[in-house]
Structure 1
Amino acid sequence: MKALIDGFLKFQKEAFPQRTDLFKHLATTQHPGTLFITCSDSRVVPELLTQQEPGELFVIRNAGNIVPSYSPHPGGVSATVEYAVAVLGVTDIVICGHSDCGAMTAVAQCKCMDHLPAVSGWLQHTESAKVINESRTHANDAAKVSSMVRENVIAQLANIQTHPSVRLAQEKGLLNLYGWVYDIETGSVEALDANSRSFKPLAEYPNTCAVYSKAVEAA
């Protein structure tokens, strides 16, 4: 805890004064352009990864970067997606998985989680990705987990499109969706390409998009 307090004191003394005008503006408003959905893993820091300032990202973090399909009884993730799209008017949504993901490792390796009933129930939202991943042949356990990470990003992109606010924004041509996989060791990102349905290096293909808005598709 001391490290956190020391960090806050450093922020208050050094970082905050450098952004006084920014925080004064943000005190009464926010207009983030992107909803960034990623894992709770401590090694994944959205603002660091994307080099964004406060106010530029609206972030959802949970185990496995999961977005449950819309239902009559929506939870916190659904409410946050709805607020980001319908109220804040974000124009882009990124679902970002990552290497060495504990949640995806547990799913891919069918680890027993009887002692973690809440986690086990939560990871049922990855079932469609698991079915696809299990149908394929993998070179080794590491390759199987890596594949599961990617299939999960694809599955969660499908899930988020069941949300009414997302579908409406897409139909109006106001929202594009992106699927990323961040590699912790190399700092690289692979992005899902809408045309090839494969993951490509973002550094080489910076305009890669997973799901374009309906207006963009029509054009």
Structure 2
Amino acid sequence: MSNEVCPLCHTTHTAIFSQDQQRLYWQCQHCCLVFVARADLLSPEAERQHYLLHNNDVADVGYRQFLSKLANPLLSELGKEVKQGLDFGCGPGPLLAKMLSEAGHAMQVWDPFFANNPDVLTRQYDFISCTEAIEHFVNPSREWQLWLELLKPTGLLAIMTKYYPDAAAFTNWYYKRDPTHISFFSMQTFQWLAQQYHLQVAFPTNDVVIFRKAG
């Protein structure tokens, strides 16, 4: 079996990390991304149908509390002045965008299945948020390049996703059971991205990372 190409840094310096009855998982030895073998990916329609099963109700108090893990540190960084923001991968219930709008910021949303408005990808933003979406990216290097184009100088990129555990714990890790979760990140991966793209990086809470683009 030949090594799969890392979908984040494009190296072939990869090795098998784990395997279960459904899928094979590779780990990049360069950027530390863990990713699902390309042969085991869902079709786009099967992926969309799975998202429709998610209960992302904008009126759900528990969901709001969950999203506040990212919203609170992001709002602290943004300050009082009104900023232009994009919630990237908002899903069928764009509650985070609503929360950030309630805090006074001007929000746009984008999602390949539920808010596919290419117009919002033609302007620049003071900040981009991405909660529980980056793990769904088939080719995360593509989104990274796009985000860097969409962010204004000194702009913020705030991401929430679960960091993967070691190989032994990964075997029974609940987060990988979702068939649409295909790209798994670690703190080392985010530090590599910060270095690669000359970004400042902070880890304000568990599962949350905030990048700042250079001026």
**TM-score after normalising by structure 1:** 0.33
**Structure having the larger proportion of residues in strand:** 2
**Structure having the larger proportion of residues in helix:** 1
**TM-score after normalising by structure 2:** 0.33
